[in-house]
Amino acid sequence: MNIVSSVVEVRAQVKEWRRLGLSVGLVPTMGYLHEGHKSLIVRAVAENDRVVVSDFVNPTQFGPHEDLDSYPRDIDADSRLCEAAGAHLIFHPRPEDMYASDFCTWVDMTGLTEGLCGKSRPGHFRGVCTVVSKLFNIVAPDRAYFGQKDAQQLAVIRRMVRDLNFDVEIIGCPIVREADGLARSSRNTYLNAEERQAAVVLSRAVTLGRTMMEQGERRAEMVLFAMRKMLEGEPLARIDYVEMVDASSMQPVAEIRGPVLCAIAVYIGKTRLIDNVVFEG
């Protein structure tokens, strides 16, 4: 398995694979890989002849007071996980490889990006759409794999692919959780022992919401009230949002007629974590 940093190298390798008639899968990541990422890579390996994992902390999706500088990085550990999962190439560019000093072209979206994480992280999805568009143009994959934990991102990428006619199939993969239910995240490493224990309240709240919907509750306000009450019972938790939206349009819903996305973002101490459940109805 090779690690390359230049766009030219990636394109040359993919071109050779294409010459041999091989299919190509792409797993876009920001590195510091964990079992959730590994599950994406394993599925990509099962469904494609060759798999590229991009390992790039994308500066354009971070706000001015967010954790770009402190975001965890470990390319050596990432390469070991990728190799164990069966990936064939890691694309590990530097920021200057992706963004020229006079870079001024962006991919942006309205509607889907205005609520949930887009509301509290202005500009975030412009950075996401731009970097993912660049990765699609560089790798030209047949399929690209994204985790359901970032449910709004997954919906945004699917809409972007449809609207801009990218020739790539978007595959959403299930959330991978710790034994106690906490969704796997690179940011979990920010948590101290007390915060890590408190963070389980996110998955407990999501499970409560799912259970209420499965038992027949169709009033979004009742589900959200119960989830918010549970989260507020954890002293270390500070709610960013608890919302119910249409799973495709990302617009708020009052009555649960699936598929809907029930999504939460919560600060545990200084660490912002997200979780969600999709209910088909």
Q: What does the pLDDT look like over 172-222, one tens digit per residue?
A: 999 999 999 999 999 999 999 999 999 999 999 999 999 999 999 999 999
Determine the Cα–Cα distance for residues 275 and 256; give it in Å rounded to an integer. 19
The residues pairing with 239 across neighbouring beta strands, listed in sequence order, are 266
Predicted local confidence at residue 1, as pLDDT: 82
Q: Where in the chain does DSSP place strands (E)?
A: 2-4, 24-29, 50-55, 89-91, 143-147, 169-173, 237-246, 260-268, 271-279
Amino acid identity of residue 47, one-letter, is: E
Token pair listed for 183: 């969704």
Assess contact for 12 and 101: CB atoms under 8 A.
Answer: no
Predicted local confidence at residue 32, as pLDDT: 97
What are the φ and ψ backbone dihedral angles of 99, each rounded to 5 degrees?
Answer: -130, 110
Assess contact for 190 and 158: CB atoms under 8 A.
Answer: no
**Which residue bears the tokens 């007071």?**
65
DSSP code, position 206? H
- In CATH terms, the fold of domain 186-279 is Pantoate--beta-alanine Ligase; Chain: A,domain 2 (3.30.1300)
Element (H, E) at 233: none
Under CATH, domain 2-173 is a member of which superfamily?
Answer: HUPs (3.40.50.620)
Q: What is the mean pLDDT of residues 29-34?
A: 97
Residues, the chain: 281
Determine the Cα–Cα distance for residues 261 and 279; give it in Å rounded to an integer. 6
pLDDT of 281 higher than 90:
no
Residues marked active site are found at 37
Q: What does the pLDDT look like over 156-176, one tens digit per residue?
A: 999 999 999 999 999 999 999
Residue percentage of the chain with pLDDT more than 70: 100
Predicted local confidence at residue 87, as pLDDT: 98
Mean pLDDT rounded to a whole number for the chain: 97
In terms of Cβ atoms closer than 10 Å to its own Cβ (0-12, 13-18, 19+), residue 207 is: middle
Question: Please, where in the chain does CATH 3.40.50.620 lie?
Answer: 2-173
Predicted local confidence at residue 143, as pLDDT: 98
269: left (phi over 0), alpha (psi -120 to 50) or beta: left
Q: What does the pLDDT look like over 108-117, one tens digit per residue?
A: 999 999 999 9
Q: What does the pLDDT look like over 11-27, one tens digit per residue?
A: 999 999 999 999 999 99
Question: Please, where in the chain does CATH 3.30.1300.10 lie?
Answer: 186-279
Q: What does the pLDDT look like over 228-260, one tens digit per residue?
A: 999 999 999 999 999 999 999 999 999 999 899
pLDDT of 101 higher than 90:
yes
Task: Give this prediction's pTM.
Answer: 0.96
Q: What is the DSSP string of 124-141?
A: HHHHHHHHHHHHHHHH--
Token pair listed for 124: 């975030």
